[in-house]
Amino acid sequence: MNYSNPRNPDTLSESIVMNQKIIPYFYQLGYQYLDINVKLQKDFITAIADLVVYLDEDKTQPYIVAEVKSQIPAEITLLAPSVQQVFSYAAYLGESVRYLLVTDGIHYHWFERSSGGRSLLSLENAPHAYNQQQLALFSNVLQPITDPQHFFDLMHSVMQILVREGTGYGLRMGSEINRILIAKLHDEQNITLGRKSLFSSDQKTESQLSIDIASLFNNALAQLSTISISEGIWNLSPRVLKQIVVMMEKYAFSTITHNAINQLFWHLFSDMVRLDHDVYTTPLYLAQFLIQLVNPQPGMRILDPACGTGLFPIESAKHLQASSEITPTSEISMLSSSLPEKTIIGIEINAEVAELALTNFVLNGLPPNDLVKADALDKNAYTNFRESCDVVVLDPPVGQIPRSFSFLHQFDIASFSNRITYEMLFVERALDFLKPGGILGILLPDTLLSSPAYARARAWILQVAIPKAIISLPVDAFVQVGHSGKASILLLEKKPSSSSKVGQVLLAEIQSLNIGKSQRSVASGIFSSLVEVVRTFMTTNQVPEETQQDYWNAWLISSNELKIESWNASAHNPNKRTFVQTLKQSSYSMVPLESLVEIIGGRNFGPSNYVEKGDNTAMVLQAGAVRDLVLDTSESPFVSYRDYIHFERIQVKTGDVLITTTGKYLGRATAIIGETLGYTLASGAVTILRPRSPAEVDPFFLAAVLSSTLGKEQVLQKQAVSSAQPYIRRGDLGSILIPLPNLRIQKDIADRLHEMLATAQRLIQLANRIEAASKEIVVKELQAGEDNA
């Protein structure tokens, strides 16, 4: 019998997909009651649903509706006709329908529907059947939470109580909410075992209730982990705690879907950690991408030595579950586990963040003892993990190591650089944990890969590891977590002790992820196509012929070509010669900036320094005032004349070039030529470049070079990333190369630029006048018509 689709012989007919793939799939998920070709009637409209899944044998509670197609794309949006069709079927069936599925038996696109059908949420994984026996235990005691929006509303109500109490949005709030959730889930577990509920305010004083909740939390944590509970401090007052318990006690939180609880961790708790510590969490899509690149397999040991709230371990577990017979847990249980111990290990130094990670481990089926509260940079601790891991994956803390750091003497890489950063130490520590031949996947700021200051550190890495792939991420990669720094993914293979292996390195450059703060990106499609290229290279040492797409391109170079001067992928792109490379071949000499100018750092002024503008005040030029080749001083603050006299060195003078060296405006430059600014100082985000010899360089020409693609390309390569924002160090700024024609040519270029900018200003003014006039046309015409009437 021919089962193929006559319109597309490569695809099966919908009926065969239904019977051979979809129905067995639902049985495997644990659903027993389902119907196909279900007739739907609403008003005068009749439709046929391909498949409906029910929660009860009588088939009175439709729970899932599925739309089966013969072929659908790997990526789909909420606006796709098939999604809208199945959404309308759910409306016909009623509010009990919670999940929607669009599938061809190969691609499964799951969506979760809020109560009343108000909205849809895309899901990564299939929902598992409720444990009916567990729901029965709660039926007369607790109300199941069947709507994710209800759960989020409850959590936001708890947050508002904490805010009124004076708890700010941050790690402390996240920790308190997490502890209450742990206590609540542990209490529900006790209920299923026939024990009395302690998470209850009934006939209890505030003090007694506080003791009971703390007892639940401590008992749960003691069962789960070796994390020291003495480090967890219960800060809530008994009065506030009772308000929260009254709000939460009637609900069964263990009925919340994994999708909803995971959203709480990645979009709420991670933000709280970031707010408190002024650090940037890893976007979920980048974590998933990195796990797919390193591609851990069942039987491997995976480690994240800086796991935060557990993102990389959780995504590793999902990856293993997708590539093995391991079954994900179907309900939230404080003691459930679906993976062998010590398969996936997370290390976290901060006790409160570790608590959040611990809960996340448990809710996602990871053994709780695989979360270790420790400082991974102490080589004398947890020596049993040394050379025991097949894969290490992490997004390390970044920034310069303080002089007081006590473990620095343990690190070899520290002797290879004058500037020691956390990310350098984590590279060495990760390689310590790896077996020979193991793979490290790490997110790193581009400064470590390209700055001359870290060339010797890169030389050390080459002694102990083999670079396998360097993937340059675009500037919008971190926009959803509020960061604008430039970073790359580095894949390293730990060398066997006798290896002198020389091979090829895969380099890739992603131009954009089209990510906005409030919209879903196309990142998943970009990443999936690039993952296939990387995996092919890792197994065959080759890449497919088609290695360039709309958003990325990839190529191979010999590891001998990966000079320690730069591991920046863009610098090695054979299809894109950089402006610096091009100009090095020209007749103009390339001169380091520091040989042309004196580099003078500005000074930070605080609100206490600012005064009202007056005759005896001085303007402070902040980063926002410096635009490419122009100044906008309309928002500039003022300080006293006394401050102006006191900080003589940062007084801005005619002939100075100003460049922004910190923050989101990094690399903007302009020259002070002919402006009458009066008393003016440079802020800490602005650096003064004062030409050493006016006969050697024209200030406006120099500003134009720094503002051009040539200058910005170099600034981008040399920028560093602190825990808060990107910046460029004075030494790296001084190493920027400036093409230097003779002064006559410089002035000619400067004059032409002045003329073009003046024309641009006139056109802007003209456009503003035309716009203003256009807004008056309708009014004038109506008035004229009224007069004529």
Give the 3-state secondary structure of 406-446: CCHHHCCHHHHCCCCEHHHHHHHHHHHHEEEEEEEEEEEEH
DSSP bridge pairs for 143: 251
* Inter-axis angle of helices 709-718 and 699-707, nearest 10: 60
Do residue 601 and residue 725 come from a single domain? Answer: yes
Phi, psi of 613 (to 5 degrees): -60, 135
Instruction: Tell me whether strands 597-601 and 686-691 are parallel, antiparallel or unpaired.
Output: antiparallel
Contacts of 233 (CB under 8 A, 6+ apart): none
What was the pLDDT predicted at 169? 74
Which pTM does this prediction carry? Answer: 0.65
Is residue 139 a part of any domain in this protein? yes
Do residue 596 and residue 724 come from a single domain? Answer: yes
Do residue 727 and residue 776 come from a single domain? Answer: no
Where b means 16+ CB within 10 Å and e means fewer, 127-160 reads bbbbbeebbebbeeebebbbbbbbbbebbeebbe
3-state helix, strand, coil in the chain (%, to 5): 45, 20, 35
Quick: pLDDT tens for 58-75: 888 898 999 998 888 877
**Going along 73-163, which residue ranges are E strands?**
99-103, 108-113, 120-123, 143-144
Q: What is the largest CA-CA distance in the chain?
A: 99
What was the pLDDT predicted at 267? 65
Q: Which of 243, 250, 237 is nearest to 187 (CA)?
A: 250
Is residue 606 a part of any domain in this protein? yes
Is residue 332 a part of any domain in this protein? no
DSSP 516: B
Do residue 113 and residue 159 come from a single domain? Answer: no
Do residue 734 and residue 596 come from a single domain? Answer: yes
Contacts of 600 (CB under 8 A, 6+ apart): 649, 650, 682, 687, 688, 689, 690
What was the pLDDT predicted at 484? 61
DSSP 109: E
What was the pLDDT predicted at 335? 44
- The CATH code of the domain that includes 56 is 3.90.1570.30
Range of the domain at 596: 589-741
User: Both tokens of residue 746?
Assistant: 């410089």
Do residue 99 and residue 118 come from a single domain? Answer: yes
Do residue 608 and residue 720 come from a single domain? Answer: yes
Contact 543, 536 (CB under 8 A): yes
What is the Cα–Cα distance from 430 to 304, expressed in whole angstroms?
Answer: 8
Do residue 636 and residue 707 come from a single domain? Answer: yes
For 364, the 3-state DSSP assignment is coil
What was the pLDDT predicted at 231? 47
The gap from C-alpha 635 to its chain's centroid, in whole angstroms, comes to: 32
What is the Cα–Cα distance from 668 to 659, expressed in whole angstroms?
Answer: 5
What is the Cα–Cα distance from 105 to 23, expressed in whole angstroms?
Answer: 10
Is residue 238 a part of any domain in this protein? yes
- The CATH code of the domain that includes 593 is 3.90.220.20
What was the pLDDT predicted at 227? 53
What was the pLDDT predicted at 133? 54
User: Both tokens of residue 90?
Assistant: 């759910």
Is residue 643 a part of any domain in this protein? yes
CB atoms within 10 A of CB 494: 22
Do residue 620 and residue 699 come from a single domain? Answer: yes
Single residue among 706, 722, 741 that ends a domain in this structure: 741
- The torsion region of residue 46 among left (phi > 0), alpha (psi -120 to 50) and beta comes to beta
What was the pLDDT predicted at 221? 75
Single residue among 208, 240, 259 that ends a domain in this structure: 259
Is residue 535 a part of any domain in this protein? no
Integer distance in angstroms from the first to the last C-alpha of the chain? 83
What is the Cα–Cα distance from 433 to 439, expressed in whole angstroms?
Answer: 10
What is the Cα–Cα distance from 181 to 195, expressed in whole angstroms?
Answer: 18
Is residue 162 a part of any domain in this protein? yes
What was the pLDDT predicted at 435? 94
Do residue 659 and residue 697 come from a single domain? Answer: yes
Do residue 772 and residue 703 come from a single domain? Answer: no
Low pLDDT (below 50) residues in the chain: 1-11, 229, 231-233, 326-332, 334-336, 516-520, 722-723
Contacts of 755 (CB under 8 A, 6+ apart): none
Is residue 91 a part of any domain in this protein? yes
Do residue 112 and residue 138 come from a single domain? Answer: no
Distances (CA, A) of 97 to 86, 90, 152: 11, 6, 19
Task: Give the count of domains, the chain.
Answer: 4
Half-sphere exposure of 417 (CA within 13 A, CB side): 27
What was the pLDDT predicted at 277? 54
Single residue among 93, 108, 129 that ends a domain in this structure: 129
What was the pLDDT predicted at 545? 65
